[in-house]
Structure 1
Amino acid sequence: MLPGPLLALDEPPPYGIINPDGSSNILLVCEHARPVIPRHLGDLGLSHDERMRHIGWDIGALALAQALSEQLDAPLFHTHYSRLVVDCNRPLGNPSLMPEISETTVIPGNVGLTAAERDWRLDTLFHPFHAAIRRRLDLRSARNQPTVVIGIHSYTPVFKGVARPWHAGILYSGATDLAGRLLQLLANDPDLVIGDNEPYRIDHDDYTVPVHGDARGLPAVLVEVRQDLISAPAGVQEWSVRLAQCLGQATGPRT
């Protein structure tokens, strides 16, 4: 039997919203924003160092998303809890939604979850977060307000022993025009190596772009920045200025 509500009254709500009525045509989403685990779940059987690795959150992504929200006057929806509790950029039924193994690390607190335990997490964290995004997109649609969905993520310089050469990547499926403009703008800096659907592709393992973007007919991409480039404030500032300029140009009126 489940021990009551997953979140205690003094814990943060499942998600946060910054600048919901921002004037930008960009709506920002940060699904892997924080490494926090609800007290009811303890530490999921992991040490503090393990929980603070990339398996627990996208390092630097929330700081970057907050800076972009301010510079672009854009609404930002972000999670408050670790991707290890429930990954809000994974479809229901996907094995990595509540991973038993993340990269090469076993997550003891996720092994052998019952259907009720999985629903406990989904009903508390996953569904409210995405319902809030849907409501805002519905409202913008009702106002005939153009919208571009941009997910903000970070990734590790090395994955399972393989080095990743890109400084950042633009990930997309249906939004080829938007992605192409962003790639072209970022390529204007000859010192940058920008991945085209790298370090991975939008596919059956993703939720935000396919559901909140492509399925609605809205341009949608994920912006991935290598985490060592945005793990400190100076890097966040540098990349937020760069991305705000490129996003503004790529999503603004064209002649």
Structure 2
Amino acid sequence: MVTLLENPLLGAPDPAPARLFNAGGQSPFLIVGDHAGNAIPQQLGTLGLLEADRMRHIAWDIGVYDLGKALAQALDAPFLFQHYSRLVIDCNRDPYHPDASPAVSDGIVIPGNAELTPDRIAARVAAIHAPYHSRIAAELARRAAAAQPTIFLALHSFTPTLDGTSRPWEIGILHDGGDTRFAEALLAELIARPDITVGDNEPYQMDATDYSVPRHAYAAGMPYAEIEIRQDLLAEAGGVAAWSLTLCLACKAALQRIAATGAGS
């Protein structure tokens, strides 16, 4: 049998699984993008998908790459993201959960994920999922060693319609366990804006399927927020710039709100 070391999933043409933008950011925020890219390792071809499907929401969080970079600059924060499509391996899922490399997504059959063997799943985990989360853990450890406080911001986007149902929210703030103070303060700041339709644990609830925030923030007692923005609002550069400004101002105001209540760290 060929071992993973003899036949690695990622080759020379493939991008690294994790990248850090604005590494020297000095604010307390660390932004992560679990689904910022839609790359597929060359060895896996196209997963049997048409290009149009590889560009759809099933493959990545549309707009998050550009928004993450803009928000990182606005907040003076690092943005740690990974390039590979969520259809190869979903870095916001337990890597061995069936949804992590789905055979079908939003009604689209993924031929390259049909009848995946344990060895093939393990290769994807070893090449992409594990290095990405190790990079996050290393960045958090570095910040802790430097006595730099961290608020963990997980940035996502969502499709305007799913299963034929329109989703009215422009932005959603997800929260559940751990230290929810910042998420709740951010939610309050956004709800105070009459011009924005805000979801509280909408269009998704943070639950047992989420992986990144529970793994990195819950156990450490780290403040966090998982942020979801509707993808049609990030389709153009103007929308990205507008939402970067909105989030920057809301995040800073949320910090002030926490300090004013005496609940700060």
Scaled by the length of structure 1, what TM-score is found?
Answer: 0.96
Q: Which runs of 5 or more structure 1 residues have no equivalent in the other structure?
A: none
Return the match for 1:115 from 114, 118, 124: 118
Question: 1:172, 1:209 within 8 Å by CA — same for their partners in 2?
Answer: no
Q: Which residue of 1 aligns with 2:35?
A: 32
Distance 1:170 1:238 in 2: 18
Q: Secondary structure at the match of 2:173?
A: strand
**Is structure 2 residue 131 aligned with structure 1 residue 137?**
no
Q: Which residue of 2 aligns with 1:71?
A: 74
Q: Following TM superposition, by how much is the alpha carbon of 1:236 offset from its aligned partner in structure 2, in angstroms? A: 0.1
Q: Which runs of 5 or more structure 2 residues have no equivalent in the other structure?
A: 261-265
One-letter amino acid of the structure 2 residue matched with residue 254 of structure 1? A
Q: Following TM superposition, by how much is the alpha carbon of 1:17 offset from its aligned partner in structure 2, in angstroms? A: 0.7
Q: Following TM superposition, by how much is the alpha carbon of 1:144 offset from its aligned partner in structure 2, in angstroms? A: 2.0
Write the deviation string for residues 102-122 of structure 1: whole angstroms up to 9, x where unpaired.
121111101111111111111
Q: Secondary structure at the match of 1:254?
A: helix
Q: Which residue of 2 aligns with 1:207?
A: 211
Q: Which residue of 1 aligns with 2:51?
A: 48
Q: Which residue of 1 aligns with 2:96?
A: 93
Write the deviation string for residues 57-115 of structure 1: whole angstroms up to 9, x where unpaired.
11101110100101111011101111110011111322111111112111110111111
Q: Secondary structure at the match of 1:121?
A: helix
**Is structure 2 residue 220 aligned with structure 1 residue 190?**
no
Q: Which residue of 1 aligns with 2:108?
A: 105
Return the match for 1:217 from 218, 221, 231: 221
**Is structure 2 residue 158 aligned with structure 1 residue 165?**
no
Runs of 4+ in 1 over 6 A off after TM superposition: none
Question: 2:180, 2:224 within 8 Å by CA — same for their partners in 1?
Answer: no
Aligned length: 255
Q: Secondary structure at the match of 1:17?
A: strand
Q: Identity over the aligned pairs, expressed in percent? A: 44
Scaled by the length of structure 2, what TM-score is found?
Answer: 0.93
Alignment of 1:243-254 (within 5 A): 243-251=247-255, 254=259
Distance 1:191 1:241 in 2: 14
